[in-house]
Structure 1
Amino acid sequence: MLASLNWMKEYVDINVTPEELADKLTGVGLEVEQVIHLGEGLEGVITGKVETIERHPNSDHLWICMMNLGQGELVQILTGAQNVSQYDIVPVAVVGSQLPSGMKLKKAKMRGLDSFGMLCSAEELGIDSKLLLPEQRSGIFILPADTPIGIDVKPVLGLDDVVLDIDLTSNRGDCFNILGLAREAAAVLNSDLKMPDLTVKETADGQAAAMAAIKVEATELCSRFAVRVLKNIKIMPSPAWMQKHLRACGMRPISNVVDVTNYVMLELGQPMHAYDYDKVGMHTLIVRRAAAGEKLVTLDSQERILEPSMITIADTTHAIGLGGVMGGLETEVTNQTMTVLLEAATFNGPTIRRTSKALGLRSEASGRFERGVDTVLTHNALNRAAHLLEQMQACETVEGIVESYPIEYTPAVIKVTAEAISKRIGTIITKKEIIRILQKIQFAVSEEGDDTLIITAPSWRPDVTCDADISEEVARMHNFANIASHLPRLDIVQGRQAVIEDVRDAIQDYMVTAGLDEVMTYSFIHANAFDKMQLAQDDNRRKAIEIINPISDEFKTMRTTMAPSLLAAASYNLARQHTKVGIFEVGRIFIPKSLPLTEFPKEHQVLCAVLSGKRNELNWNESHEDVDFYDMKGVLEGLMEKLQVADYKLIPVAEPFLHPGKSCAIECEGKIIGYFGEVHPTVEENFELGAVAYLLEIEIEPLVAGATTIPQYQRLPKFPSTSRDIAVVVPTEVSMAELEKVIRANGGELLTNVKVFDLYTGKQVAEGCKSMAFNLTFQDNERTLTDADIDVVIKNIVNVVSETFKAKLRD
C-alpha cells in the first residue's frame, strides 16, 4: 500500500523523520519496503502567472511569455507549448533551478531571443501522467486560478510529500487505509489519534427510507449493506488538497463524487460506490447471487459473463454492479447526474477473491474486501463521504440511512493471564505493561483476579480471536527487537520419522530400482474420470469431494483413486513416442466420511503404478517384447519381498477398469488392500493409451504392521540343497497361491523354496480338475539332508494337500 505521510499527519503528530517512522512501523510488523520522497531532485521551481503572451517573430510555434514571478519585474520566458493562455498560473523553472531529471536551468537563446527559464509540464516535474486527468497529461501543467504567485511549487502539487510503500500481510486489512496506519503510528510514537469529521447536515427534503429501498437476498455473502441519498449533485473537479492525497496514494482524480468514494476508501478502509439514482430501477438495490450466464458491462466498458458464485448488485430488473469488485457502466455517475445513491457494504472476502480471479478483474475495492473490511465502518464511511461533498457545496444530504444488517458484528472476547503471555513471548512483561500496550492499540481490557485479563478486540481486528493473537500483539508493540534471544532448553533426542514414512521411502527406493520412473500428479482429477474408469454409479469411489475454487475445470474433484492420474500420465508419455512406459507415484487419496463435508476426509497413502509398451528400450542385445501381466506381478512380488511382507495372497477380482480374466486383488491379513492387472480395453481406449497397459494400486498403511525396512542378516548355507518335484491334481477353482501357501506352511524349516513349473488341463486329468507341478527346494544349515529326511516332509505335504483340497498325487 502507498501511504501519504502528509495525509497521516492530519490524524497524528509525527515528530520523527520518515525513515525513523518507517523503522518503527516495520518493528511492529508493518513492513515498509520503500520511503519515497515525491519531490526529490526538484529545486527552485516556483509558481508564475502569464501576464502577456505573443508569437515569437522568428518562429511559427514559439511563444513569448512575460511572467509575473511575484518579484516585481516581469521575466521573459519562451515556450513551444500550445496550451498556455494569458493569466494562466503555471510552474516555472527559473535560471538556477533543478528538475528531477537532473537538468539545471540556464539562460537560453531561442531564435534570437533570450529565455530566462522554462514553463514546466507534469512529466518534467516528476508527476506520473497516469495519475492525472487527460487534459493535464500534455503541454504545460496549468495550476488552479487561486494559486499564489512566486511560491515553491512542491506544496502546491503535493510534491513536498513522502510516501511509504508498505507490504501488508493478508491479516492486516485494518491498515489498508490512512487512518489505520495513523492508529499504528500513534501507538509507536505515544501520540494521540485524531478522528476525521463525520458530521452531516442533512438539509435536503425527504427521507432516505422513502426514496430508496434495499434488499439483501444473499445474506451469507453480505453481512451489511447501507445507502445514503444525496440530492442536487454538482459534478466538478475535486479540491486540490484531495487530488494531492489521491495522487500520492496512487489513484487518479476523476470527479468530485468518484474521488470522494476513493478518498474515503483510502482514508477509512471502506470501499464505496455511487449510483446515478435516476438510472436505478424502482430506486431499489438488491444484493443477490448472479444468474448463470448473466451479463454485466462494468465501468471499464468490458462485458462480463457472471456465475452463480458471484455477488451482484441489481435493481428490480437486472444486474447493475459486481458487488465488492466494480460497478456497472449503466448506472455510472456522469455530468448529468442530479441525485446519487451512495453505497457502503461488507461483502464476503473469499467470494470476492474468487470472483476477481475468475474474471481477471482486481480493483482497490476487491483487495480490501479480500483482507476483510470492518463491518462497523459502514455508517462512518457514508457520513464521511456526505460530509466531504457538503464541504465542497456539491450536494445536499437527505435525512437518514437505509440499511440491511443481517449478520450483526459480535466482538471477540479473550481471557488470558499475564503469565501465559510472558511465557509465550519468552520474556517477562508485567500485567501493567500489557494493559498499557493493549489500550494503546485500542483493545478494551478489564482485570479479573490477580493475573487474568479479559480483552475485547476492536471491530477492525477480526484476525485477533485467541490468546496467541493477544500475545502476538503484545510482542510486536513491545517490539521484537527488545525481546532477548535465548537458546532453547530442550533435551536433545535422536529424531526419526514415523514407521509409515520409512515404509513409503522403502517403496519409492524399490520402485526406482525396479526400473520405474516416479511421477508427481495433482491430487485433483476431472469429474469425468470416473466415467472413463467405468465405475458404477453406486461405486463408493464416485463419492468424491468437489473443490470450491479449483485451479481449472480439469481439476475440480479430489481423487478417491490414483488410477486416473497415472493412466493419464501414461497416455501423455505414450503419445509422445515413448515406447517403454513404467511409472509410479506414492501419493494420497481422499475419502469423505459423508457429503457434504462435516469433517476432514480420511487420507490414505497409496502406491499406484502403470506399465505399458515395450519391456526394454530398442537395443541390439535386448529383447523387444511388450510388457505383460507377469511383469507387473513381478513388481508386486519384489516389493513384498523388499518389505518382507509374507502374509499376502492374490485372489480373483472384478474391477470394472481391469480385464476380467487378467487381474487380481491383493489380500493381506484378510483385508483387500489393492489390485493389479491388465487395464480393460474400453478403459485403455477412454484414456487414449494406444497400447496394452497394466495397473497396480495398493494402500500403504495396511502393509506397515507386517513390513520391515531393516535388512535381515541371513548366513550363507554351508551344506548343499536338494530338490524334489511333485505334481498334484486339484479342482479347477483351487488357485496356485492357495496351494503354494499350504505347501509352504507344512514344509517345515527344511523347505526353503517353492516354485510352480507346470500347469496342465486336458485328457490326462479328470474333468473339472487341473494339474500343477511344483519344484520344492530343501536345505539344512547344520547338515546334509538324506532322502529319508526329505521323504518325511514330502509325505506330510501330500497328506495335508490331499485333505485340504481333495487333491491326488499325479504319477
Structure 2
Amino acid sequence: MYVSYQWLTEYFSMDGITPDALGDKMSRTGIEVEDVVTLSEGLKKIVVGHVLSAVPHPDSDHLNICQVNVGEEEPSQIVCGAPNVAAGQHVIVALPGARITGNVKIKKGKMRGEVSNGMICSLQEVGFDDKVIPKAYAEGIYLLPEDAIPGDSVFPYLGMDDAILELSITPNRADALSMRGVAHEVGAIYDKKPQFKAVELNEAPDDSVQNYVKVAVENAEDAPFYTMRVIKNVTIAESPAWLKNKLMHAGIRPINNVVDITNYILLEYGQPLHAFDYDRLATKEIAVRRAQAGEKFLTLDGEERSLSSENIVITNGQEPVALAGVMGGLTTEIVDETVTVALEAALFNPTSVRKTSKAFNLRSESSSRFEKGINQGTVEEASRHAASLIAELAEGTVVSGVEAVGAAKTSPVELDITLERINHILGTAITAEEVVAIFDRLGFTTKEQEGLFQVCIPPRRWDISIEADLVEEVARIYGYDRLPSHLPVTESQPGKLSQQQQIIRNTRGYLEGAGLSQAISYVLTTPKKAQAYMMRASEPTKLLMPMSEDRSTLRMNLLSGLLDDVHYNVARKNTDVALYEIGRVFYQSEDPSQTLLHEEEHVAGVMTGLTVENDWQHAKKATDFFVLKGVVEGLLASYGLKEAVKYVPMTEKEGMHPGRTAAIYLGEKELGFLGQIHPFAQKEYEVGETYVFEMNLQAIIDAAKEAVVYQTIPKYPEMKRDIALLVDEAIQHQELSQFIYEKGGRFLKDVKLFDIYQGEKIEAGKKSMAYTLTFLNNEATLTDEEVTLAFDKVQKALIEVFAVTIR
C-alpha cells in the first residue's frame, strides 16, 4: 500500500510531523513502513515549459526544433524527438545543468547541427514507472495542465513535492488498505481526528434507476450486498492532473475519467467499484450467480477464460459481463463512446474471490481487498462519492435511487474488558482514564464503570472481535516501547546434557572425526523409498493431503535420503562422498494400546569413492566393506557397551549386496546392518560402489554401559606372540578372535589380525590368518614361562575346536 503524505494532509494538519517521523511512529505502533520515498529527491532544475513552436529538423525525419518558453527573457531552443510534441503544449523541461532520473546530467549540446538548450522530458525521465504512465504518453512526452506557469518548478504539477510511505499491510489489518483507514490510524497515533469532506450528490428527480436496471442475486452468501447506480450523459475524457497524480503515485495507471474515479474511490475507501458501459450491457437485467462449468468469458485483458462453478459472475441475465471482485469483461468496458455508466458497488464472498483470482492468476487491487475484507459501513458512501465525482468530472447526470439487493452489516461490535485484565496481560499500571483516552483516539465509543469497559467497535475495524484484540490496541497506542520488561525469577539449576543428548553429540563428533559430514534429509519421501532398507515390519504412514507424491510418506529409514544426497553429489562430479545422518524414523505401532505412530532415533552413514586420494605420499585407496566396518566398530566401541557386539552375514537383505552385508547384533538383539548396496540399487541411484550402515540409536541409548574407569599407564612391560593359522575359509575372524580371548587367560589383553592370505600356495578351501597376541600383567613383570603356557593353551584349543594347522 502506497500512502501519499500530502493526501493525508487533506484529513488533518500534519504540521511538525515529517514523513520520516511518521513512518517511524507507524512502524512502532504495528503497521510496518518499509520505505519513505521523497519523489523529487535527486532531481533538480526541472521546470514547466510552454512550446511556442515546433518545426521539423532539416536533417532528421523524426526530430523537431522547438522554441520553448521556460520563464526566461528569451525562449530556449530545444531539439525534441518525441512524436507527440506540438506548439501550444505545456511540457516538462530539464534545463542545462539539470539532474534527471538515474543522476543523468543535462548539458547544452547540438543535435544534427542544431543547438539544444536542455531537454523536453517524458514521465519516465523524471522517475515514473512505465506501468503507471497513461498509455497516451507511454511513447512520448507528458503534457502538463494548460494553467501551468512557464518557469515554475514542475514538481507541484506532477505531485512530486510529495513523500510516499510504502506500508507492509498484514492480512489482519486490511482496514489500512485505504487512505481513510490509514488516516484513522495516524489520527490514533497522534491524537488527531480526521475530517472527511461531506459528499454532495445531486440526483435527477425526473428519472429513476428502476428505469434502467433490475438486480437479482442467486445466492446471498456469494454477494451479501449488491448495489448499482446509473449515471447518464457522461463524457469520457482524460482525468484532471490531481486525479492522475494520485493514481500514479499509488501504482495505478490512469485510463479515463470514469475508470480513474473508481480507482480513486478504491484507494480512499478501500471499496472496489466497477463501471459498466450501460448500453453495451444490452439488457436491464443484472444477475449475480455462479458460473456454469466450461462457460466462456472474455476479460478486460483480452483473454478468454473457461469458468467453473467456483467462480461468481455478474451477468446481463444471460452471459457473464464480469468476474465478481476480480476483473470486468471486455465487451462492457468503458470506452470513448460511452454515454451511460452503470456503477457497481458490492460485497462478494472472500473465499470465492480468492479462488477465482488464484485460478486465473488475476491478482488485482480489487481482489486483494475483497479477499481480506471490506468496510461494510462505507459501501453506499463510496458509491455515492463515485457517482458525485463522475457527475462532476464527466459532466454526467446521476439518475435517482439505487438498485440494491441484500444489506451490509453496519452495526458496531460490542466487547467488554476490565482494567485489571489489561494491566495483567501487559504488565502495566495504566489508569482507567488512560485506557478511555486510547479508545477515544482509536474512534471506539467507550463506557467505563469501576474498571469495566464496554467498548463499541465501528465497522471499519472488522479485525477486532475478541478481548485479546482490545488489549493489543491498547498496547499499540500506549507504546510497545513503554511496556515494562522483567526477567523471570526461577530457581537456578545446573544445566547438563541428558544421556540421550550426550550420546547423540558424541556420535556426531566421532563420525565427523572419521571423515563423514552431517546431512539432513527430508522426513517426508515417496512410499517406495520410505519402505526401502527397513529394519522392522511396518505399514507406511501417509499424509492425507500431501503437497506432492515425492513428499507423501513418513520415512522408515535414513538411508534413502542419504543415497539421494550421494546421487546429487555424484551427478555434479563430486564422486568421493562420506555422509552421516542422525534422525528419527516412523513406524506404525503393532501394539493397539500404544499410539499409532512410533518414533525411533536412528544413525546412518554412507561412503563411496576414495577414502585416500593419490598423492606423493600415499597411494589412492577406494572405500570398501572393511573401511566402513572399521568406522562402525570404532563408533560402537566409543559407547562402552556392556554386551558384546557381533557381525553376522546377511544374504537376503533387500537392497543390499548378498555377499557383502552383515547384520549388527548387540548381544542377541539386532541393532542394524552394514554393507554394500545392491548393484541394482547402485544403477538406480547412478552411483559407483557405495557402502552404508544404519543402526537403531535409541537401542544404543537404552543399552547398559560399562562404567568409565581411568587407569594409570602400566608400569610393567607387555609381551607379544604371533601365530599363523591355516583354517577353513568358512571360519570367520570374529569366531577365532573371540575364542582366543576366551582361552588366552587373564593376562591376554589384545588380539589383532595382521594378515590374511588366500592364493596359489594355500590349498583350495583354506585361508591363512595371522594374529598378534598381547599379554600384560598390571601387577608384576610377566615371565616367559607364564606367557608360553597361556600361548600353548590357545594353540592346543584352536587345533581341537577348529582343526587349524599352525604354520
TM-score above 0.5 = yes
Gap regions ≥5 residues in structure 2: 757-768
What is the letter of the counterpart of residue 680 of structure 2?
T
Distance in 2 of aligned mates of 1:790 and 1:442: 101
CA separation of 1:412 and 1:516: change in aligned 2, threshold 3 A: farther
Distance in 2 of aligned mates of 1:739 and 1:588: 36
Q: Note the C-alpha offset of 1:190.
A: 0.9
Match of 1:7 in 2: 7
Contact 2:413–2:465 under 8 Å retained in 1 = no
Match of 1:617 in 2: 613
Contact 1:258–1:274 under 8 Å retained in 2 = yes
Contact 2:641–2:706 under 8 Å retained in 1 = no
Distance in 2 of aligned mates of 1:411 and 1:777: 88
Q: Note the C-alpha offset of 1:3.
A: 0.6
Match of 2:502 in 1: 502
What is the letter of the counterpart of residue 204 of structure 1?
V
**Segment of structure 1 superposing worse, 639-648 or 33-42:** 33-42
Distance in 1 of aligned mates of 2:517 and 2:715: 39
Alignment deviations for residues 761-791 of structure 1 (CA, whole Å, 9 cap, x no partner): xxxxxxxxxxx99999886644679999999
What is the letter of the counterpart of residue 209 of structure 2?
A
CA separation of 1:379 and 1:29: change in aligned 2, threshold 3 A: closer
Q: Does 1:696 align with 2:687?
A: no
Match of 2:429 in 1: 428
Q: Note the C-alpha offset of 1:268.
A: 3.4
DSSP-derived class of the 2:605 partner: strand
**Segment of structure 1 superposing worse, 10-19 or 416-425:** 416-425
Contact 1:297–1:304 under 8 Å retained in 2 = yes
Contact 1:566–1:610 under 8 Å retained in 2 = yes
What is the letter of the counterpart of residue 503 of structure 2?
V
CA separation of 1:271 and 1:589: change in aligned 2, threshold 3 A: farther
Match of 1:384 in 2: 382
Match of 1:479 in 2: 479
DSSP-derived class of the 2:210 partner: coil
Query: What is the number of residues matched between the two proteins?
Result: 754
DSSP-derived class of the 2:253 partner: coil
Superposition RMSD on alpha carbons, in Å?
A: 6.6
Q: Note the C-alpha offset of 1:80.
A: 5.8
Alignment deviations for residues 62-99 of structure 1 (CA, whole Å, 9 cap, x no partner): 466899x9xxx99967676674667x573587999988
DSSP-derived class of the 1:428 partner: coil
Match of 1:252 in 2: 253
Contact 1:544–1:591 under 8 Å retained in 2 = no
Match of 1:658 in 2: 656
DSSP-derived class of the 1:205 partner: helix
Distance in 2 of aligned mates of 1:350 and 1:211: 19
Match of 2:766 in 1: none
Contact 1:414–1:467 under 8 Å retained in 2 = yes
Distance in 1 of aligned mates of 2:137 and 2:522: 52
What is the letter of the counterpart of residue 350 of structure 2?
F
Of 190, 198, 204, 2:209 maps to 204
Distance in 1 of aligned mates of 2:296 and 2:119: 52
DSSP-derived class of the 1:164 partner: strand
CA separation of 1:513 and 1:785: change in aligned 2, threshold 3 A: same
Contact 2:376–2:408 under 8 Å retained in 1 = no
Trace 1:284-683 onto structure 2 (pairs within 5 A).
Answer: 300=301, 312-313=311-312, 327=327, 330=330, 333-335=333-335, 339=342, 344-345=347-348, 347-348=350-351, 355=358, 363-364=364-365, 373-374=372-373, 376-377=374-375, 380-381=378-379, 384-385=382-383, 387-393=385-391, 398-401=402-405, 418=420, 421=423, 424-425=426-427, 427-442=428-443, 472-482=472-482, 495-496=495-496, 499-525=499-525, 529=529, 533=532, 540-541=539-540, 543-544=542-543, 547-548=546-547, 559-587=555-583, 606-619=602-615, 626-647=622-643, 656-659=654-657, 662-663=660-661, 674-683=672-681
Q: Note the C-alpha offset of 1:567.
A: 0.9
DSSP-derived class of the 2:11 partner: coil
Alignment deviations for residues 221-275 of structure 1 (CA, whole Å, 9 cap, x no partner): xx87654345467554445443232122222212345434433433334556667
Q: Note the C-alpha offset of 1:428.
A: 3.2
Distance in 2 of aligned mates of 1:323 and 1:699: 58
Contact 2:92–2:122 under 8 Å retained in 1 = no
Distance in 2 of aligned mates of 1:499 and 1:288: 63
CA separation of 1:214 and 1:678: change in aligned 2, threshold 3 A: same
Alignment deviations for residues 510-552 of structure 1 (CA, whole Å, 9 cap, x no partner): 1121122333445554676459x4999x95336257544x7xx
Q: Note the C-alpha offset of 1:585.
A: 2.7
Distance in 1 of aligned mates of 2:572 and 2:108: 72
Distance in 2 of aligned mates of 1:670 and 1:34: 67
Contact 1:226–1:343 under 8 Å retained in 2 = yes
Distance in 1 of aligned mates of 2:228 and 2:139: 37
Alignment deviations for residues 186-234 of structure 1 (CA, whole Å, 9 cap, x no partner): 0122111345768987941169774554587xxxxxx876543454675
Alignment deviations for residues 602-630 of structure 1 (CA, whole Å, 9 cap, x no partner): 87654332122344333576565653434
Contact 2:78–2:115 under 8 Å retained in 1 = no
Distance in 2 of aligned mates of 1:667 and 1:511: 20
CA separation of 1:570 and 1:21: change in aligned 2, threshold 3 A: closer
Q: Does 1:262 align with 2:258?
A: no
CA separation of 1:251 and 1:602: change in aligned 2, threshold 3 A: farther
Contact 2:584–2:601 under 8 Å retained in 1 = yes
Contact 1:226–1:402 under 8 Å retained in 2 = yes
Distance in 2 of aligned mates of 1:563 and 1:574: 16
Contact 1:47–1:90 under 8 Å retained in 2 = yes
DSSP-derived class of the 1:541 partner: coil
Contact 1:47–1:149 under 8 Å retained in 2 = yes
What TM-score, normalized by structure 2, do the two folds share? 0.69
Alignment deviations for residues 128-169 of structure 1 (CA, whole Å, 9 cap, x no partner): 564331223465543456889999865554344332234455
CA separation of 1:257 and 1:559: change in aligned 2, threshold 3 A: farther
Q: Note the C-alpha offset of 1:438.
A: 4.0
Distance in 2 of aligned mates of 1:543 and 1:633: 34
What is the letter of the counterpart of residue 345 of structure 1?
F
**Segment of structure 1 superposing worse, 175-184 or 228-237:** 228-237
**Segment of structure 1 superposing worse, 738-747 or 562-571:** 738-747
Contact 2:538–2:588 under 8 Å retained in 1 = no
Contact 1:608–1:698 under 8 Å retained in 2 = yes
DSSP-derived class of the 1:676 partner: strand
Trace 1:141-160 onto structure 2 (pairs within 5 A).
Answer: 141-143=142-144, 155-160=156-161
CA separation of 1:155 and 1:620: change in aligned 2, threshold 3 A: closer
Q: Note the C-alpha offset of 1:415.
A: 5.6
Match of 2:16 in 1: 16
What TM-score, normalized by structure 1, do the two folds share? 0.69
What is the letter of the counterpart of residue 180 of structure 2?
L
Distance in 1 of aligned mates of 2:624 and 2:106: 86
